[in-house]
Chain A
Amino acid sequence: GQQLNQSPQSMFIQEGEDVSMNCTSSSIFNTWLWYKQDPGEGPVLLIALYKAGELTSNGRLTAQFGITRKDSFLNISASIPSDVGIYFCAGPRSGGYQKVTFGTGTKLQVIP
Chain B
Amino acid sequence: GAVVSQHPSWVICKSGTSVKIECRSLDFQATTMFWYRQFPKQSLMLMATSNEGSKATYEQGVEKDKFLINHASLTLSTLTVTSAHPEDSSFYICSATGGLGHNYGYTFGSGTRLTVV
List residues of A (31-49) whose CB comes within 8 Å of B's CBs. 31, 33, 40-45, 48
Across-interface contacts of A44 in B (CB, < 8 A): 108
Cβ proximity bits B10-54 to A, threshold 8 Å, 1 near / 0 not: 000000000000000000000010100000001111100100000
- Distance in angstroms between the alpha carbons of A94 and B110 in the assembled complex: 27
The interface residues of chain A, by DSSP majority, are classed as strand
The reply to whether the CB of B78 lies closer than 8 angstroms to some CB of chain A is no
List residues of B (41-80) whose CB comes within 8 Å of A's CBs. 42-46, 49
Count of inter-chain pairs, beta carbons less than 8 A: 50
Q: How many residues of B contact A (CB 8 A)?
A: 25
Across-interface contacts of B111 in A (CB, < 8 A): 40-42
The reply to whether the CB of B116 lies closer than 8 angstroms to some CB of chain A is no
- Distance in angstroms between the alpha carbons of A40 and B99 in the assembled complex: 27
- Distance in angstroms between the alpha carbons of A41 and B91 in the assembled complex: 9
Q: Cβ of B104 and Cβ of A92 under 8 Å apart?
A: yes
Cross-interface CB contact of A33 among B6, B42, B104, cutoff 8 Å:
B104
Which stretch from A61-69, A76-84, A102-110 is at the chain B interface? A102-110
Across-interface contacts of A43 in B (CB, < 8 A): 44, 93, 108
CB distance from B75 to the nearest CB of A (A): 17
Cross-interface CB contact of A88 among B44, B95, B105, B106, cutoff 8 Å:
B44
Q: How many residues of A contact B (CB 8 A)?
A: 21
Cross-interface CB contact of A42 among B32, B95, B97, B99, cutoff 8 Å:
B95
Given contacts A40-B111, A42-B110, A88-B44, contact A98 B105 (CB under 8 A): no
Given contacts A42-B95, A42-B110, A96-B49, contact A103 B43 (CB under 8 A): yes
Q: Cβ of B43 and Cβ of A42 under 8 Å apart?
A: no
Across-interface contacts of B99 in A (CB, < 8 A): 98
Q: Which 9 A-B pairs have the closest CB atoms?
A: A42-B108, A45-B105, A102-B44, A102-B43, A42-B93, A42-B111, A42-B110, A42-B109, A43-B108
Interface residues of A (CB under 8 A from B): 31, 33, 40-45, 48, 50, 88, 92, 96, 98-105
